Chain A
Amino acid sequence: MKTRAGHGRGNHPDIAFGVALIAVAAIALFEIRALGSGTASNMGGGYVPRALSVFLLLMGLFYAIRGFLLRPRVAIPAVGWKSLGLVVASIASFALTLETLGLFAATLVMTVFASLANREVRWLEMLVFAVGMAAFTVVVFIVGLKLALPVWPVFTAN
């Protein structure tokens, strides 16, 4: 904590938290704009969500504004963009390939992307591990738990 504190004002984690709350509340209020609130004795679908969103909005404003005024300055810990990006890529690749290429290939791709997120990459170990993981998922989820998932690329199945 101390290393991230500096001179001047501004608690960045609080500001970010506040801004995020404002954003969520605004989106929620927009989405439920058409729903009626009703009365206290006969509430409509919009009553409780609207009340909660307004509360979140106020809290967001509180944290964002107070965050700007707080001393000393506290920064948000540095973001590891590379590992973040690769984990996102690995999950996204799984989502994109699962229904076309099947579970085996999707797991393979996912594992490779994920493994790249590590600081040191051992290529041979990674490949062996990825194939092992893919085989493991097929055995456990398809053979063992009998989940309804495509295993192989769809064009070979037909």
Chain B
Amino acid sequence: MDVFANLALGFTTAVSPINLLYCFVGAIAGTLVGVLPGISPVNTVAMLLPFTFGMNPTSALIMLAGIFYGAQYGGSTSAILINVPGETSAVVTCLDGHQMARQGKAGKALGIAALGSFFAGCVATLIIALISTPLARLALKFNSPEYFSLMILGLIAAVVLSSGSAMKSFIMVVLGVLTGLVGIDVSSGSSRLTFGRMELADGMDFVPLVVGLFGIGEVIANLETVTDKTVLKEKIKDLLPSWREIRECFPAILRGTAIGSALGILPGGGAALPPFAAYAIEKKISKHPERFGSGEIRGVASPESANNAGAQTSFIPMLTMGIPTNALMALMIGAMMIHGIQPGPMVIQKQPELFWGIVASMWVGNLMLLVINLPLIHVWVALLKTPYRLMFPAIIMFCCVGSYASINSVFSVWLMLGWGLAGYFFKKVEVQPAPMILGFVLGPMLEENFRRAMQIANGNPAIFIERPISAVFLVAALLCVIALLLPAFRGKREMLKEED
């Protein structure tokens, strides 16, 4: 299999003027929401999703992917400058990054974060290109029982690695699966959980669900707590770290990239976990661990590389097997289905230009981010001054118009309001809504594969452990659950939760 021929095809797709434009738009939009605390890439992708309906699927997915990794770049900017992580993945960057800023080295922190992210992005793109084809070929051998077990593994791992109570996260997954079953049942033709509404016959509309849960729920909760924040006063200078500093940081960037890439691929992976792991390891192996927390440049370089690498490699299970490992990948799957693409191992064969175009666009997007981010830093700083009182009506507007546009019906706006209230409720009772989206997207596939597998096996559930690949997945899922019960792991998880 010729990786380079594939990448060449990808680059031809990615650098076509229209895709280049959408990649740019996505990366900029991502940086923007990354910089602004209180808007996550998840709700941005959800809000912008309906507006991609008119685009061709490749451009749409290139743009949506750009939002995700763009947000990783942007998140570090506000973490370093105002000590507020724009994204959860930038929480660790606050520790040393903001200290550097207070010592007048904000420019260097931003510079090394951008360089580290770029390096990590390049490596992650290559990793995706290298392992996608074999993974997809392996996945083609899967049948219903294997798919069912794989999805179970993905969901369990996501639950175990998420912050907060694992049991509640699991309940949210189940709630999501149930919501995913709304609509006409394909096998029996009967409508389920539609309450007689025609608008629900095709299933619960994805856009109002997500923008309601994440966008509106967050706005209502934020209005109770957010006060307009104070902005930094110091000038930013010396954006480029010196050669000596880059040389010093390079091993840290390399380690961060490796950790991020590995954790990103795992089910439940993504951009949130890798920076914590990378920071902890960096501190452990450093000769001067006492410097961490008071402006150590490696403490910025390593986690920043890790979150960008993780953000990108988390596309692998999504692109090759159709399994989302975090809420954002669930959104990407939703976006594919809206554009009429059935996610799964066939995508890479049937639509090579789409698949490789997305992969190559990630590299292109990373390059753009490096080039635009450093010179544009003053623009982002100015944007940080946008008061929340002007931001949230705009968020509500995007959510409303997006929901309407999704199926051209006011019903969706009401639906969104309902989910918004649900999202607010979940915030109040301290339950994470993200696992629900995973369950929602996987719901119909889970049910279908479960039913088909049980049909093959004549109603005997032993089929899931009799087939070797399926058994391996289930054992791995079981190990995840056992790990959750171990006191050592529990302690680490609690720690993460507190730092969150």
From B5-13, B66-74, B139-147, B413-421, give the one contacting chain A: B413-421
A83 in complex: contacting residue of B223, B227, B429, B455, CB < 8 Å: B223
B175 to chain A, nearest CB (A): 7
Question: Do residues A76 and B393 form an inter-chain contact, with CB atoms below 8 A?
Answer: no
Residues of B within 8 A of A88 (CB): 417, 421
In the complex, which residues 391-447 of chain B have their Cβ closer than 8 Å to any Cβ of chain A? 392-394, 396-397, 399-401, 404-405, 408, 410, 413-414, 416-417, 420-421, 424-425, 428-431, 447
* Distance between Cα atoms of A115 and B395 in the complex (Å): 12
Q: Is B283 an interface residue (CB 8 A)?
A: no
Residues of B within 8 A of A152 (CB): none
Q: Mark A26-59, 1 if CB is under 8 A from B, else 0.
A: 0010011001100111111111110011011001
* Distance between Cα atoms of A42 and B451 in the complex (Å): 7
Q: Is A69 an interface residue (CB 8 A)?
A: no
Chain B minimum-CB-distance residue to A88: B417
B459 in complex: contacting residue of A35, A39, A44, A107, CB < 8 Å: A39
Question: Do residues B175 and A45 form an inter-chain contact, with CB atoms below 8 A?
Answer: no
In the complex, which residues 362-415 of chain B have their Cβ closer than 8 Å to any Cβ of chain A? 388-390, 392-394, 396-397, 399-401, 404-405, 408, 410, 413-414
A86 to chain B, nearest CB (A): 9
* Distance between Cα atoms of A78 and B427 in the complex (Å): 12
B55 to chain A, nearest CB (A): 10
Chain B minimum-CB-distance residue to A24: B175
Q: Mark A75-117, 1 if CB is under 8 A from B, else 0.
A: 0111110011001101110110011000100010011001101
Residues of A within 8 A of B454 (CB): 40-41, 43
Residues of A within 8 A of B397 (CB): 107, 110-111, 133, 137
Residues of A within 8 A of B413 (CB): 91, 94-95, 98
A45 in complex: contacting residue of B192, B223, B392, B394, CB < 8 Å: B192
Question: Do residues A13 and B428 form an inter-chain contact, with CB atoms below 8 A?
Answer: yes
Q: Is B103 an interface residue (CB 8 A)?
A: no
Q: Mark A109-142, 1 if CB is under 8 A from B, else 0.
A: 0110011011110000000011001000100010
Residues of A within 8 A of B192 (CB): 31-32, 35, 45-46, 49
Query: Chain A interface secondary structure, helix, strand, loop or mixed?
Result: helix
Residues of B within 8 A of A137 (CB): 397, 401
Q: Is A151 an interface residue (CB 8 A)?
A: no
Residues of B within 8 A of A36 (CB): 188
A56 in complex: contacting residue of B175, B224, B396, B459, CB < 8 Å: B175
A interface residue count range (under 10 / 10 to 19 / 20 to 34 / 35 or more) = 35 or more
Residues of A within 8 A of B414 (CB): 95
Q: Is A147 an interface residue (CB 8 A)?
A: yes
Q: Is A148 an interface residue (CB 8 A)?
A: yes
Q: Is B243 an interface residue (CB 8 A)?
A: no
* Distance between Cα atoms of A13 and B428 in the complex (Å): 7
* Distance between Cα atoms of A49 and B414 in the complex (Å): 24
* Distance between Cα atoms of A20 and B427 in the complex (Å): 13
Residues of B within 8 A of A146 (CB): 54
Q: Is B190 an interface residue (CB 8 A)?
A: yes
Tell me whether A52 and B429 are in contact in the complex, defined as CB-CB below 8 angstroms, given that A39-B459, A110-B396 are known contacts. no
Tell me whether A31 and B195 are in contact in the complex, defined as CB-CB below 8 angstroms, given that A43-B451, A94-B413, A95-B417 are known contacts. yes
* Distance between Cα atoms of A92 and B454 in the complex (Å): 45
A110 in complex: contacting residue of B193, B227, B393, B410, CB < 8 Å: B393
* Distance between Cα atoms of A80 and B458 in the complex (Å): 54
Question: Do residues B220 and A133 form an inter-chain contact, with CB atoms below 8 A?
Answer: no
Residues of B within 8 A of A13 (CB): 428-430
Chain B minimum-CB-distance residue to A122: B389
Q: Is A143 an interface residue (CB 8 A)?
A: no
A119 to chain B, nearest CB (A): 8
Q: Is A154 an interface residue (CB 8 A)?
A: no
Chain A minimum-CB-distance residue to B187: A45
Residues of A within 8 A of B168 (CB): 17
Chain A minimum-CB-distance residue to B189: A45
B90 to chain A, nearest CB (A): 24
B219 in complex: contacting residue of A17, A76, A87, A94, CB < 8 Å: A87
B51 in complex: contacting residue of A42, A43, A130, A145, CB < 8 Å: A145
Residues of A within 8 A of B393 (CB): 90, 110-111, 114-115, 129-130, 133
From B16-24, B177-185, B232-240, B346-354, give the one contacting chain A: B177-185
Question: Do residues B396 and A91 form an inter-chain contact, with CB atoms below 8 A?
Answer: yes
Residues of B within 8 A of A117 (CB): 223, 392
B109 to chain A, nearest CB (A): 32
Q: Is A70 an interface residue (CB 8 A)?
A: no
Q: Is B174 an interface residue (CB 8 A)?
A: yes
* Distance between Cα atoms of A129 and B219 in the complex (Å): 18
Q: Mark A1-34, 1 if CB is under 8 A from B, else 0.
A: 0000000000001101100110010001001100
Question: What are 22 inter-chain pairs, A to B, with CB distance below 8 A?
Answer: A28-B178, A32-B193, A36-B188, A41-B454, A41-B455, A45-B190, A46-B192, A79-B224, A90-B396, A94-B400, A94-B413, A95-B400, A95-B414, A98-B413, A99-B410, A110-B397, A114-B392, A114-B396, A118-B388, A120-B389, A129-B390, A145-B54
Question: 6 new A-B pairs (CB below 8 Å) besides A41-B459, A76-B429, A130-B393?
Answer: A14-B429, A47-B451, A80-B220, A91-B400, A91-B413, A111-B393
